[in-house]
Structure 1
């Protein structure tokens, strides 16, 4: 089979990645199989087509996934996450907005075609180039299989190479997790430890260790997860960025050192930016305000001294946004917040005011994290965004290590890792835990806050077996603020789901195989809970 890569697509892929490589590909309308392997430059172009897998759309899909959980609420009533969580639509073998079966197998075939071509034609290139190219593609194949495994319980079709049979059956979960680990072990062994600044964003050994730690956490292979983190730490390259808020304001063009970034996707305005802010920023910024943080999340941000916030405390309730932890101010736009040279007004009738129906907040809050606050869009207008997307950062790795060590019974090590994340967040008193259950409550809270809006919450609740408890039969909350004649404010807790209860069926813990796959593949049988 010929590998036909449209020239324009290849140039776009290379430019999106902004690797800085000076490559002069052979000018032709299409690449056939022979041209793709004639030089390292052409090989790089072939490899670059895989990189959009890790972040081409900035945080948009991660925001959408978080809106299926309890931390974000879509403001438009008929937005897909609202329809599904409130029961107007249901996940079925025919429709699944969180499924990825068909797209994943398209990417797996692309990976296997590349690896097949590399095996047949790699002798034309230097051995170290071949090994690195294989390592990159096996990393991406492992990532795609991980995304399949976390949705379908790892009981999926395992294709280690281009299939010889027309139809293939599902493999056992252990075999799938083994394969993911094998691909990432090969990637770690053959990827470079570092890359030149001009190639920032290309895969490294640390990225392979990081993804393996994440995958093994989902597989509940606790020692494999913690070992992967230790291997990453042994590289001596990664650490927490000093400021949580500034971490999310990094641009590729600034070339600033950032040891927290393990794998990132860089953007550069105007040609390769994104429109994220335009769709999600508040109306006072001239944005479309499609999503808002829930009170469920906002109330979880602690006070600056590490104590819990409570609306039942009259002092805190009178001034609820004062003296909160730094991550609150880095992540949430609330009434009275200073932002882009103006004061955010989420009270009823304010420029960002509370309302139901879309176009403004239905919870009383907006995101701040992930937005570029340096551009006064209310007067200057929007331009293509260029903040960095983090596929994986060191804080997540520390939380993975903490959880994995707790599951292995080592609470001391678990607490050390957890408290490193909290120290960067501004807390001075270390947390303690007398039991694994106590520790896991702390860990779950920390992941909710530290990783907010990064697409982890829904999947975390699901893998912990808590989704049917915390996402079913509940409504997410908001705060409606009324500005009184004398200028004082009245805070009213409201139901942001407008009286409806959320639905999370127990069988959602493993998504159904798509009906189209069942129909076209006689080797596949639907999961029992979906028959």
Structure 2
């Protein structure tokens, strides 16, 4: 049917599209609230504009540590890697606004729940509250982890009068996250209601991580230790199962983001238009050119030295190393072929990321760039190593034997001998750092670990002198501005009450 466009001032032509939902027409039933909840996860997966578990968001999380080196292809990521980024960096700005996009959505749902109680069942209200508060608390933790002091927006409003808002401290933001997560845990079930849905364990695991970052070790133990026994059923599985499509939502997974072959074919969109796919391009980003990849980043020599430091009980390299990185060792397979068959002799000394790649199921990364491997946001292995850290550093519950027992669970999964070093805080911490570096390689933990331990400068110095030198230019008034991404210039221009980040 043809459509005739007319130019007219006739008011009868200015009609509302009956198929377009508005704030007034949308919130009519439980199905609408379910749709709104689904929309809250999209900002986490946004591919190009800073979604925290999206393609570029992952890059911005791993670029600043000592585990990988990015080549100068994606300028915003390279700036972060070499500490030349500014408050105009489009990816850190995108990350900032994806957090607030999601906060607006969770705040909207919570407000509408109050308004629409008469049309919703009590059980449904509790279910939505639990999920929504988890998402908001999860976002608030990451927001303050990345930007430190930020505006704390807890209401959904389109009124310009509400836009100016001063920053709250990191402590205040994390305290609100803890309130949200604690409330969420009271509503959420022990077993998630569906794939990609949060559970009580996910709420407590996130709370424990926040307490650890705040060095509230006893509080962290209180919420984390129950996750190690009944009624919770988490356990360690084959390490490689945590990064492939075949073993998603396994017993080690506490919370993961669904990356699915649904929707359209546009992997580069915002995830919300009709053409958007719900996949990502993570595998092709890091694979070698010889297998159809874009070779954006490779493991550093310092990281490889960590991987190769200790052999297992059978004399092999650490299983986690072999499942995380491909390099020239006997029996190494890369995209279903022996390593030396893939690369020319001149490149036999190179290292390649395997985590979240299709290296053991495909011969090449597909030209479509669409991966369906879920992003594991919280793993049980992290709970165990967080407990090890808490018992190592708690001033009131310090228990070196218990700390080592949790580390040994991780070591045994890797077929390593039990810890046999000195039973001192320093010696145990050295192995704890070692295990975390290997266990969470390119999962977005290393930079934040080094920062909170006060080891970032030391590890960057031994990794790359050029990066270290530039990093040290960020020292201002006794701190380093590169510890955090800066409040974006756009926010400073539009929010009169917001001040620049420290050192910026």
Q: Fold-level match, TM-score > 0.5?
A: yes
Q: Deviations over 1:444-475 (max 9, x none)?
A: 1111100001011112212222222322x454
Q: Residues 102 and 402 of structure 1: is their aligned pair in 2 closer, same or farther, counting only changes over 3 Å? A: same
Matches within 5 A, 1:272-283: 272-283=278-289
Contact 1:344-1:352 at 8 Å conserved across structures: no
Q: Which residue of 2 aligns with 1:358?
A: none
Q: Which residue of 1 aligns with 2:455?
A: 466
Q: Which residue of 1 aligns with 2:310?
A: 303
SS at match of 1:300: helix
Q: Which residue of 1 aligns with 2:177?
A: 180
Q: Deviations over 1:333-367 (max 9, x none)?
A: 112522333222399xx44853xxxxxx9x71001
Q: Which residue of 2 aligns with 1:522?
A: 496
Are 2:474 and 1:503 aligned? no
User: Shift of the alpha carbon at 1:219?
Assistant: 2.1
SS at match of 1:225: helix
CA distance in 2, matches of 1:374, 1:365: 16
Matches within 5 A, 1:211-290: 211-251=206-246, 258-269=250-261, 272-290=278-296
SS at match of 1:45: helix
CA distance in 2, matches of 1:426, 1:339: 22
Are 2:379 and 1:384 aligned? no
CA distance in 1, matches of 2:262, 2:110: 34
TM-score, with structure 1 as normaliser: 0.76
Q: Residues 527 and 338 of structure 1: is their aligned pair in 2 closer, same or farther, counting only changes over 3 Å? A: closer
> 1:437 pairs with 417, 426, 443, which one?
426
Are 2:331 and 1:331 aligned? no
> 1:158 pairs with 152, 175, 184, which one?
152
CA distance in 2, matches of 1:97, 1:161: 25
CA distance in 2, matches of 1:512, 1:379: 35
CA distance in 2, matches of 1:418, 1:379: 35
Contact 1:346-1:364 at 8 Å conserved across structures: no
Structural RMSD (CA): 3.1
Are 2:24 and 1:38 aligned? no
Q: Deviations over 1:258-282 (max 9, x none)?
A: 2101011233447543332223212
CA distance in 1, matches of 2:488, 2:358: 38
CA distance in 1, matches of 2:102, 2:369: 31
SS at match of 1:529: coil
CA distance in 2, matches of 1:193, 1:135: 12
Contact 1:293-1:367 at 8 Å conserved across structures: yes
User: Shift of the alpha carbon at 1:527?
Assistant: 4.6
Matches within 5 A, 1:70-469: 70-76=66-72, 79-86=75-82, 90-95=84-89, 97-98=91-92, 100-153=95-148, 155-162=149-156, 165-196=162-193, 199-251=194-246, 258-269=250-261, 272-301=278-307, 302-305=309-312, 323-336=316-329, 337-345=332-340, 350-351=343-344, 353-354=346-347, 364-378=350-364, 384-408=370-394, 409-469=398-458
CA distance in 2, matches of 1:392, 1:72: 21
Q: Residues 338 and 377 of structure 1: is their aligned pair in 2 closer, same or farther, counting only changes over 3 Å? A: closer
Matches within 5 A, 1:12-51: 29-51=19-41
* Higher alpha-carbon deviation: 227-236 or 421-430: 227-236
Contact 1:73-1:291 at 8 Å conserved across structures: yes
Q: Residues 85 and 279 of structure 1: is their aligned pair in 2 closer, same or farther, counting only changes over 3 Å? A: closer
Contact 2:36-2:105 at 8 Å conserved across structures: no
User: Shift of the alpha carbon at 1:500?
Assistant: 9.0
CA distance in 1, matches of 2:237, 2:463: 36
Contact 1:267-1:385 at 8 Å conserved across structures: yes
Q: Residues 413 and 41 of structure 1: is their aligned pair in 2 closer, same or farther, counting only changes over 3 Å? A: same
User: Shift of the alpha carbon at 1:290?
Assistant: 1.7
SS at match of 2:298: strand
Matches within 5 A, 1:486-497: none
Unaligned runs of 5+ in 1: 1-26, 308-321, 355-360, 477-494
Q: Residues 284 and 527 of structure 1: is their aligned pair in 2 closer, same or farther, counting only changes over 3 Å? A: closer
CA distance in 2, matches of 1:270, 1:515: 35
CA distance in 2, matches of 1:291, 1:156: 30
User: Shift of the alpha carbon at 1:407?
Assistant: 1.6
Unaligned runs of 5+ in 2: 1-16, 48-52, 264-277, 475-479
CA distance in 2, matches of 1:91, 1:374: 36
Q: Which residue of 1 aligns with 2:12?
A: none
User: Shift of the alpha carbon at 1:139?
Assistant: 1.4
